[in-house]
């Protein structure tokens, strides 16, 4: 997964879709961004990029009520998981994804995989296909962006993990002392999609949402089973314009398919045919 996705729903839609009990999107959320987020956090974003605050669904007691019953919440978390033991939150930029194959063993992700699982709602995600024949101006393989989403039109629910990091220089009672971050699990790309990229995010079907969000389900084998793909054929994809390459670009137009005539050395994910060569 190359690190971009479209999160086009607003909080009200997500609260209804995921049967959220607590809307925490209005609570203070620490960010690692240097400049103000654009579009603002919590609004539709068709070019979600690492370090941005993104809507995430999780189940835990409400903030400040650790002894209370866990409730399903919608929160704004920073994309790029920062382990609790990290010395610098910038490490999160290297942890926007976690490989499903090793997440339950790696120190950065193990504890979160067992008890701090989340769902990252999306419209779909972007991948960049390296052309086997076409080259760019620098002589490197030309990269064609694709958009991928569910064929049935349902919401895309990425399997995610989240973690808390405390800034020791700030009073722990100050919300700014805590950075809550997340990562998206990835797995091997299924046939067809692997002609675009060799990895893809883990996408959960609706019948697995509740179990994935259950913080008491801590058996490693059960967690692995929940994250396994139910089979190929759930997704549809099409090439989009290169405007998505720049994070400053945004809006629904990024999802529009490009004309076949504009393609240059692009491999058709369905047939394997090279187009525009």
Reported as a single tens digit per residue, the pLDDT across 205-235 is 999 999 999 999 999 999 999 999 999 999 9
* pLDDT reported for residue 176: 87
Is residue 267 predicted with pLDDT exceeding 90? Answer: yes
Give mean pLDDT, residues 138-163.
97
Range of lowest pLDDT (61-65, 154-158, 182-186): 61-65
* pLDDT reported for residue 68: 85
Give mean pLDDT, residues 121-141.
96
Beta strand 156-166 pairing with 117-122: antiparallel
Burial class (CB in 10 A: 0-12, 13-18, 19+), 175: exposed
* Cα distance between residue 215 and residue 114, in whole Å: 8
DSSP helix/strand/coil, 79: strand
Domain ranges of the chain: 5-128+154-234
* pLDDT reported for residue 119: 98
Q: Tell me what the pLDDT averaged over the chain comes to.
A: 95
| φ/ψ of residue 183, rounded to 5 | -135, 160
* pLDDT reported for residue 64: 75
Percent of the chain's residues with pLDDT above 70: 99
Question: What are the C-alpha distances in Å from 69 to residues 28, 62, 73, 78?
Answer: 22, 8, 12, 25
Give mean pLDDT, residues 80-90.
95
* pLDDT reported for residue 175: 84
In the CATH scheme, what is the code of domain 5-128+154-234?
3.90.1680.10
Sequence-ordered list of residues with C-beta below 8 angstroms from that of 41, at least 6 positions apart, any chain: 25, 29, 31, 52, 53, 54, 76
DSSP helix/strand/coil, 6: strand
* pLDDT reported for residue 47: 98
DSSP string, 226-276: HHS---S--EEEEEB-GGGGSTT--SGGGGSBPPGGG-SSEEPTTT-PEE-
Give residue-wise pLDDT tens across range 13-65: 999 999 999 999 999 899 999 999 999 999 999 999 999 999 999 999 887 78
Is residue 1 predicted with pLDDT exceeding 80? Answer: no
* Cα distance between residue 25 and residue 38, in whole Å: 16
The residues that are catalytic are 2, 127
* pLDDT reported for residue 59: 97
Is residue 277 predicted with pLDDT exceeding 70? Answer: no
Give mean pLDDT, residues 228-253.
96
């Amino acid at each position: 997964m190359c690190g971009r996705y479209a999160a086009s729903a607003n909080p009200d839609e997500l609260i209804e879709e995921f049967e959220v009990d607590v809307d925490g999107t209005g609570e203070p959320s620490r960010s690692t961004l240097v400049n103000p987020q654009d579009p603002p956090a919590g609004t539709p974003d068709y070019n979600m990029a690492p370090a941005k605050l993104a809507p995430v669904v999780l189940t835990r007691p409400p903030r400040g009520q650790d002894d209370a019953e866990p409730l399903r919440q919608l929160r704004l978390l920073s994309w790029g998981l920062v382990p609790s033991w990290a010395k610098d939150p910038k490490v999160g930029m290297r942890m926007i994804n976690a490989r499903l194959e090793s997440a339950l063993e790696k120190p950065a992700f193990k504890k979160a995989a067992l008890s701090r699982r989340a769902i990252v709602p999306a419209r779909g995600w972007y991948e960049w296909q390296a052309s086997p024949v076409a080259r760019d101006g620098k002589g490197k393989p030309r990269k064609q962006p694709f958009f991928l989403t569910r064929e049935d039109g349902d919401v895309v629910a990425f399997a995610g993990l989240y973690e808390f990091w405390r800034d020791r220089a700030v009073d722990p009672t100050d919300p700014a002392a805590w950075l809550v971050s997340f990562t998206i699990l990835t797995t091997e790309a299924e046939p067809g999609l692997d002609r675009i990229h060799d990895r893809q995010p883990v996408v959960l079907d609706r019948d697995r949402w509740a179990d994935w969000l259950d913080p008491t389900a801590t058996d490693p084998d059960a967690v692995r089973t929940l994250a396994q793909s139910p089979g190929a054929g759930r997704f549809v994809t099409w090439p989009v314009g290169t405007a998505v390459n720049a994070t400053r670009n945004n809006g629904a137009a990024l999802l529009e398919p490009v004309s076949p005539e504009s393609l240059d050395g692009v491999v058709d994910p369905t047939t394997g045919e090279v187009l525009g060569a």
